[in-house]
Amino acid sequence: MRCKWCNEKNNLYIEYHDKEWGILNKEDKYLYEMLILESFQAGLSWECILNKRESFRIAFDNFDIDKIIYYDENKINELLNNKDIIRNKLKIIINSHDAYCFLHKKTV
C-alpha cells in the first residue's frame, strides 16, 4: 500500500516511493545526491524534483563530489543556462560550497 502523497500516475514517483522512501541508505554518494536535490526542492514539490532528477544527474556530473567541489564560474554559468534543471543561482552556487562541507564532514 502506498502513501496518499504518492502520485500513482507518475512512474518516477512510484519508483521513488517503493524503492527509496523510508529505506535507510548511508552511502555518501546517495546522501550527497539527496542533499543537492533537497536544496533545489525548497519552495517546490518533491515530485517536480524527481521529474528532473535525471537531468540533475547529468548536469551535476552524476553527483560526483570530487568534481562539484571545483565548479568554477564557467560551470556555474552552464548550469544557469541548463533549461532541464531548476536554474536558481543561489541554489547552484551553494551546492559547490556544500560539496566542500560534505567532503570534509564540516558545517561552515
**Catalytic residue positions?**
16, 38, 46
- Residue that has been written with the C-alpha cell 551546492 in this structure: 95
Contact 41, 16 (CB under 8 A): no
Query: How is residue 56 written as a grid cell?
Result: 540533475
- Reading the block at residue 32, the C-alpha cell is 550527497
Please calculate the CA angle 97-101-102 and round it to the nearest 5 degrees. Answer: 110
